[in-house]
Amino acid sequence: MLKKILCILVSVTALAGILTSCSRSGGSSQPAANSDVSASDGSITEEQAHTAAVETGLTIDGKEIDTTDLVMCTINGQEVSFDEFRFYWLMYLKSYESAGFDLSSPNTIESVKAAVMTELTDTYGVISMGLDNGITFGDDLKETADANYLDLISGFDTVEGYEEALISANMTDDLVWDYFYTTACYGVARNAILSETGPYAKTQDDFMKSVENGEFSRTLNLLIPYACGAELSAEDMEAWDELTVSDKSAKYNNAYDKLSDDEKKTAQEKAKALADEVLAKVKAGEDFYKLIAEYNLDPGMYLNDQNDITSITGYYITKDYGFVQEYIDSAFSLAENETSDLVETTYGYHIIKRLPLDMDYINENIDSLTKEYSETYIYKACNDYMDSVKYEYSEYYDKLTADSIV
């Protein structure tokens, strides 16, 4: 349930794979233009690669726009070129079309814009965060981009083949180098500020102080999700008692996802009725561990000893952990050994019991607990920064339609 930051665009390896799919094995067999200056191994030279022509365009209100030096947006002052914006725009446009969305719908276009800006923010936001923390991007990163670029074009023996790959990937030759450089800058910034040695990381001492200061709540979670109101097939129910909680949850989710909106509403009502029934048993004093064993569908409540239903560690969380807010509020409002009423979240219905902290467990697992604690604050710092990012858009951004960019 931790909210994790989104990662970098696509990997360098993935990009190389996309582009080289039309290289020697699949590209044109014709000699490269100016083949007399080809590299000694038969691949195209850098000069030849720069001649690769990809037709791109932007049309707004029926008018063709000059995109030569067009900046489509800035993210905390970091400029996003038309070519880079185009790469993500066409990628997401195709994705939404493949998923059956109506590209003529303004809502779809707004969703595509949001997806594109999320991708760009994940990258330029981290780079901007690095700059704000005093990170510099030296010439060695340009050398890295040069090396990656040359390595990539070495997979092509014709300019035509390289052009085909660029067109297929919605890239331009200039963008390939820019992409490698941006990726290198992102990597430096991320490793410097979002790592376990960065400025937002926490130490074991920090972790233990938070424990001593009462910042942690340990909870058991009895989850009855909306999906458990869906009917399962006889095939799904085979060997039910031998399935893990994760497997059971997956079967319910698969059944629930196939329901219509009205059927989902009915399933939610059934889940609520079951949750009320289980809560009544809790109130009547029935053993909470036995009720978890019988009804819970949260895979996080796993047994450390399969023969001992009380061997559940539960969740150790602070208010900054990425749990849904309703769960956090309940977890910290309870006294130790107190049980909540029904807590409804996007997952379904929870019955939460707060337990005393197990100091033996904490001391035995201090490395992993410190790591999780530290990651939480690293992610929080990053998410808080991303929420503060400032955007500026070109005059054409709000006028984009499905047919605007080619």
CA-to-CA separations, 265 to 165, 223, 231, in angstroms, rounded: 48, 18, 13
Mean pLDDT, range 280-300, rounded to an integer: 96
DSSP secondary structure string, 144-157?
HHHHHHHHHHTT-S
Question: Residue 76 above 80 pLDDT?
Answer: yes
In this prediction, residue 313 carries a pLDDT of 92
Higher pLDDT, 23 or 280: 280
As to burial, measured by CB atoms within 10 angstroms (0-12 exposed, 13-18 middle, 19+ buried), residue 339 is middle
CA-to-CA separations, 320 to 1, 3, 252, 355, 369, in angstroms, rounded: 12, 10, 30, 19, 14
Mean pLDDT, range 342-363, rounded to an integer: 96
DSSP secondary structure string, 226-283?
GGGGSPPPTTTTTTGGGS-HHHHHHHHHHHHHTS-HHHHHHHHHHHHHHHHHHHHHHH
Kind and range of the H or E run holding 225: strand 217-225
Beta bridge partners of 392: 74
Contacting residues for 327 by C-beta, under 8 A, at least 6 apart = 1, 221, 343, 345, 350, 352
Start-end of H helices in 50-197: 82-98, 106-132, 139-153, 159-168, 173-193
Tell me, rounded to whole angstroms, the distance of Cα 205 from its chain centroid. Answer: 30
Closest residue by Cα to residue 179 from 12, 54, 7, 19 = 12
Residue 290 binned pLDDT confidence (cut-offs 50, 70, 90): very high
Cβ count within 10 A of residue 267: 21
Note every long-range contact of 134-142, with CB atoms under 8 Å and residues 24 or more positions apart, other chains counting.
Answer: 135/188, 135/189, 135/192, 135/193, 137/184, 137/185, 137/188, 141/181, 141/184, 141/185, 141/188, 142/181
In this prediction, residue 17 carries a pLDDT of 55
Q: What is the mean pLDDT of the chain?
A: 89
Q: d(Cα 283, Cα 272) in Å, to the nearest integer?
A: 16
* Structural domains of the chain in order of their starting residue, each with its CATH number: 12-198+387-399 (no CATH), 217-356 (3.10.50.40)
In this prediction, residue 372 carries a pLDDT of 92
Start-end of H helices in 284-319: 288-295
CA-to-CA separations, 79 to 269, 291, 335, in angstroms, rounded: 50, 56, 51
Hey, what's the torsion of the CAs at 148, 149, 151, 153, to 10 degrees?
A: 160
Whole-number percent of the chain with pLDDT over 90: 83
In this prediction, residue 26 carries a pLDDT of 42
Instruction: Give residue-wise pLDDT tens across range 89-136.
Output: 999 999 999 999 999 999 999 999 999 999 999 999 999 999 999 999
Tell me, rounded to whole angstroms, the distance of Cα 87 from its chain centroid. Answer: 19
CB 354 within 8 A of CB 218: yes
273-298 as b/e: b if 16+ CB within 10 A: ebbeebbebbeeeeebbebbbebbbb
pTM for the model stands at 0.74
Q: Beta 391-393 vs 348-355: how paired, if at all?
A: unpaired
Higher pLDDT, 1 or 36: 36
Q: d(Cα 35, Cα 133) in Å, to the nearest integer?
A: 48
In this prediction, residue 322 carries a pLDDT of 79
Question: Residue 388 above 90 pLDDT?
Answer: yes
In this prediction, residue 350 carries a pLDDT of 98
In the three-class reduction of DSSP (H, G, I as helix; E, B as strand; rest coil), residue 16 is classed as helix
CB 202 within 8 A of CB 373: yes
